[in-house]
Amino acid sequence: MLDLIIRNANLPDGRTGLDIAIQNGTIVDVGPHLNAQANREIDATGLLATPPFVDSHFHMDSTLTYGQPRLNESGTLLEGIELWGELKPHLTVESIKARAMELCHWAVARGTLAIRSHVDVSDERLLAVNALLEVREEIRPYIDLQLVAFPQDGYFRYPPSAANLERALDLGIDVVGGIPHFERTMAEGAASVKILCELAANRTLRVDMHCDESDDPHSRHIETLTFHTQRLGLHGRVTGSHLTSMHSMDNYYVSKLLPLMAEAQIHVVANPLINITLQGRHDTYPKRRGMTRVKELLEAGINVAFGHDAMMDPWYSFGSYDMLEVAHMGLHVAQITGVDQMRQIFEAVTFNGANVLGLEGYGLEPGCNADVVILQARNPQEALRLKPARLFVIRRGIVIAETPPVISRLELEDKKIEVDFRR
Ligand code: FE2
């Protein structure tokens, strides 16, 4: 007797009408009309079953602080950083934990069961580090939470960051972060990339830097990050987050850069909601979109994932932590609307994110972890269009969240009509 069987599901790769058999937290079989019995059976009725959504770039220490201690009046990136600096003295471990746990509950409800969160280490007390390390352990049964030591105020520009970052790694933070474009000079930015990559190589850790989050076409720290990744043999373990300056770079330069990034197996994380909101602020018209070159990166064979980045915090006032909202914005901003391309966009918030984090056992094949989300949509394109309810969220074979189907019931004179926006 199996623990759970999901009947008649469609998969993100286009296969339809499959059953998924689950035993001891693992997927043991996938196929049509499996001859098996289970303690619990879920009829997916031809809807989409996907591995969980992955948010490969978030800031859990600042989320849900909207309005504290004041609003971001200009709505800009730099006022956001200023505002975070004003808020930091008022933070406590308890308040950070409470907000992070609330965010995790939203994540489970949305079927997002893996998150990479940057943690600000430009703080001698390391409050956010201590708080989020506790959250990582408490939420482990439900969410894979990976933490990045992020020197928000600069590695060199804020001198205590160097020691704080090492302390954070000693305490168990998973990934080495950085912010080279925020250093005082291009040279200091490049030097920070070198030191931080060497630190990661010495500790056999992954790297994920906020890199070139700017409209300046000469912000080329991704070139340096790619070089040191290749030099130190960190292939497949390094992520460039944002890379918004690539939007504005010279095409000839990019034609040299992309193959080098592919060679070093650099991962790229774009943050569509935040990039379209914060970039291009110095432009009048035409106004640049600012998001990195998602289509061209994918065509070069580079792994591109999407992150939510910020939500109801000093940088971004919106959001309900829906990775399909992120993907929806991403496909519009990147103009990725071809049929096969849309499937790639769905992968940017699922499989590609799992690659960024290096998750093991991710997927819907036999032997994978039994982590499955059933959506009120039949395929990835419909999911991107509707951002539908997550009917069932399953972690290691156990249903940990359910949402009833969202259906509007109309009464028009003598007719009763149900609308769920599917065709
Ligand atoms: Fe970020």
Q: String of b and e for 156-171 (b: at least 16 CB within 10 Å)?
A: bbbeebbebbbbbbee
pLDDT at position 340 is: 82
For residue 320, the CA-to-ligand 1 centroid distance in Å is 17
Confidence check: pLDDT of 69 > 90: no
Q: What is the pTM of this model?
A: 0.97
Q: Crossing angle of helices 127-139/93-109, nearest 10°?
A: 40
Confidence check: pLDDT of 329 > 90: yes
DSSP 51: P
The model's pLDDT over 370-412, given as tens digits with 9 standing for 90+, comes to 999 999 999 999 999 999 999 999 999 999 999 999 999 999 9
Banded model confidence at residue 223, pLDDT cuts 50, 70, 90: very high
The model's pLDDT over 26-45, given as tens digits with 9 standing for 90+, comes to 999 999 999 999 999 999 99
pLDDT at position 202 is: 98
Calpha distance 197→4 (Å, rounded)? 44
DSSP 237: S
Confidence check: pLDDT of 54 > 90: yes
For residue 82, give both structure tokens: 């200023």
The model's pLDDT over 120-130, given as tens digits with 9 standing for 90+, comes to 999 999 999 99
For residue 239, the CA-to-ligand 1 centroid distance in Å is 12
pLDDT at position 1 is: 93
Confidence check: pLDDT of 117 > 90: yes
Q: What residues have their beta carbon closer than 5 A to ion ligand 1?
A: 309
Catalytic choice (213, 325, 347, 382): 213
Banded model confidence at residue 85, pLDDT cuts 50, 70, 90: confident
Q: What is the mean pLDDT of the chain?
A: 97
Tell me whether residue 213 is one of the annotated catalytic residues: yes
pLDDT at position 76 is: 86
pLDDT at position 292 is: 98
For residue 262, give both structure tokens: 């592919």
For residue 407, the CA-to-ligand 1 centroid distance in Å is 36
Calpha distance 401→395 (Å, rounded)? 9
For residue 21, the CA-to-ligand 1 centroid distance in Å is 38
Give the C-alpha distances (Å, rounded to integers) separating 148 from 151, 166, 210, 342, 377: 10, 12, 11, 29, 34
For residue 241, the CA-to-ligand 1 centroid distance in Å is 7
Contact indicator for 116, 148 with CB cutoff of 8 Å? yes
pLDDT at position 88 is: 87
For residue 135, the CA-to-ligand 1 centroid distance in Å is 19
Banded model confidence at residue 167, pLDDT cuts 50, 70, 90: very high
Task: Report angle CA 57, 69, 162 to the nearest 5 degrees.
Answer: 50
290: left (phi over 0), alpha (psi -120 to 50) or beta: left
Contact indicator for 113, 142 with CB cutoff of 8 Å? yes
Name, in order, each residue with C-beta under 8 angstroms of 76's C-beta and a sequence gap of 6 or more.
278, 281
- Which whole number is the average pLDDT over 275-287? 95
The SS3 of residue 380 is: helix
Calpha distance 377→423 (Å, rounded)? 10
- Which whole number is the average pLDDT over 97-117? 98
Give the C-alpha distances (Å, rounded to integers) separating 116 from 19, 325, 393: 31, 18, 19
pLDDT at position 81 is: 84
Give the C-alpha distances (Å, rounded to integers) separating 111 from 115, 123, 351, 372: 11, 32, 14, 8
Give the chain's domains with CATH numbers: 2-51+363-408 (2.30.40.10), 53-357 (3.20.20.140)
The model's pLDDT over 136-156, given as tens digits with 9 standing for 90+, comes to 999 999 999 999 999 999 999
- Lowest mean pLDDT across 73-77, 161-165, 237-241, 348-352: 73-77
For residue 300, the CA-to-ligand 1 centroid distance in Å is 24
CB neighbours of residue 342 within 10 Å: 19
Calpha distance 103→98 (Å, rounded)? 9
Banded model confidence at residue 20, pLDDT cuts 50, 70, 90: very high
Cis before residue 286, ω within 30 degrees of 0?
yes
Confidence check: pLDDT of 78 > 90: no
pLDDT at position 203 is: 98
The model's pLDDT over 89-98, given as tens digits with 9 standing for 90+, comes to 899 999 999 9
- Read out DSSP for 122-181? -STT-HHHHHHHHHHHHHTTT-EEEEEEE-TT-TTTSTTHHHHHHHHHHHT--EE---GG
For residue 213, the CA-to-ligand 1 centroid distance in Å is 9
For residue 108, the CA-to-ligand 1 centroid distance in Å is 21
Phi, psi dihedral angles at 396 (to 5 degrees): 50, 40
How many angstroms separate the most distant Cα atoms in the chain?
73
The SS3 of residue 4 is: strand
The pLDDT > 90 percentage for the chain reads 94
Calpha distance 394→276 (Å, rounded)? 33
The model's pLDDT over 226-244, given as tens digits with 9 standing for 90+, comes to 999 999 999 999 999 999 9
- Which whole number is the average pLDDT over 296-310? 98
H helices of 232-350, in order, are: 251-263, 272-278, 294-299, 323-334, 339-348
pLDDT at position 272 is: 98
DSSP 29: E
Calpha distance 18→16 (Å, rounded)? 6
The SS3 of residue 52 is: coil
Burial of 330 (0-12, 13-18, 19+ CB in 10 A): buried
